[in-house]
């Protein structure tokens, strides 16, 4: 991966990307969402459930900006395992019994079609939390296929594939400070 110096385009693996959301804007929007959560959950103690890997950077900034007494736990969805892309048999790893009766805030990097989040919510609900809210860094409204209720979103973006600020392309690019969109060549 080539880091930008005086250019707004970079190469990650075999693809070219152009900067689409600079770090300064990301920080502003993350702080706004943190303030909304702090206000809405005032006096309560939610459990933030961070979906790895992509949400780790967002969660680190979000949680430090939230002013509530809160707890954090990390979950991961297994890779597709013996299922085709439609079947999507993905296991939720790392979920403890601690979600029962808790007010959960699921922290995700990006909601695209919404299918991953819909399945995640189904699994979570089987563990009987008191409530579940979704907080996503990015949402692609043009791609959304479900009627998910997404209470918190930092930013809406066009349908293009993005990397940076936790999001990867083929395992790379997660440590970029800005968010970059793919350039289709
Ligand atoms: P969905 O099930 O909502 O279509 O897809 C959600 C998952 O697809 C995300 O958690 C993320 O892993 C991946 N994804 C969707 N769009 C993008 C994108 O633009 N960039 C990256 N890096 N991952 C994406």
Q: DSSP label at 98?
A: G
Q: Mean of the pLDDT values across residues 97-113?
A: 94
pLDDT tens figures, 43-54: 999 999 999 999
Instruction: Return the percentage of the chain with pLDDT > 70, whole number.
Output: 90
- 156: CA distance to ligand 1 center in Å? 13
- 55 burial (CB, 10 Å; 0-12 / 13-18 / 19+) is buried
pLDDT of residue 83: 45
Catalytic residue among 112, 133, 160, 168: 112
Give the length of the chain.
Answer: 185
Q: Is 167 in the pocket of ligand 1 (CB under 6 A)?
A: yes
pLDDT tens figures, 133-165: 999 999 999 999 999 999 999 999 999 999 999
Check: CB of residue 71 under 8 Å from CB of residue 96: no
Tell me how far CA of residue 120 lies from CA of 29, 40, 58, 88, in angstroms.
25, 23, 19, 11
Average pLDDT of the chain, as a whole number: 91
C-alpha span between 129 and 66 (Å, rounded): 21
- 44: CA distance to ligand 1 center in Å? 31
pLDDT tens figures, 162-181: 999 999 999 999 999 999 99
Q: Is 163 in the pocket of ligand 1 (CB under 6 A)?
A: yes
CA-nearest residue for atom 5, ligand 1, is 112
Ligand 1 nearest atom to the CA of residue 108, by list position: 10
Q: Which residue has the tokens 């918190």?
A: 152
Check: CB of residue 70 under 8 Å from CB of residue 100: no
Largest CA distance in the chain: 51
Tell me how far CA of residue 15 lies from CA of 22, 112, 181, in angstroms.
19, 20, 10
- 113: CA distance to ligand 1 center in Å? 8
Pick from 34-43, 92-101, 129-138: least confident: 92-101
CA-nearest residue for atom 19, ligand 1, is 161
C-alpha span between 136 and 154 (Å, rounded): 7
- Report which secondary-structure segment, H or E, holds 60: helix 56-65
Q: What's the half-sphere exposure (Cβ side, CA atoms, 13 Å) at 183?
A: 14
Q: What's the half-sphere exposure (Cβ side, CA atoms, 13 Å) at 35?
A: 6
- 2: CA distance to ligand 1 center in Å? 22
């Amino acid at each position: 991966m080539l880091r930008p110096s005086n250019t707004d385009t970079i190469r990650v693996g075999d693809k070219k990307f152009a900067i689409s959301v600079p770090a300064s804007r990301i920080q502003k929007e993350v702080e706004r969402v943190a303030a909304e959560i702090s206000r809405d959950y005032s006096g309560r103690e939610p459990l933030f459930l961070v979906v790895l890997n992509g949400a780790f950077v967002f969660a680190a900034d979000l949680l430090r900006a939230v002013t509530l007494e809160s707890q954090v736990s990390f979950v991961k969805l297994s890779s597709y395992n013996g299922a085709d892309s439609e079947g999507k048999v993905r296991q939720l790893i790392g979920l403890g019994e601690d979600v029962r009766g808790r007010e959960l805030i699921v922290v995700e990097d990006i909601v695209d079609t919404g299918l991953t989040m819909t399945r995640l919510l189904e699994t979570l609900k089987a563990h009987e939390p008191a409530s579940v809210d979704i907080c996503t860094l990015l949402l692609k409204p043009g791609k959304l296929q479900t009627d998910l209720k997404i209470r918190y979103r930092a930013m809406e973006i066009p349908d293009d594939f993005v990397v940076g600020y936790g999001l990867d392309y083929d395992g790379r690019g997660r440590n970029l400070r800005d968010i970059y969109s793919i350039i289709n060549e």
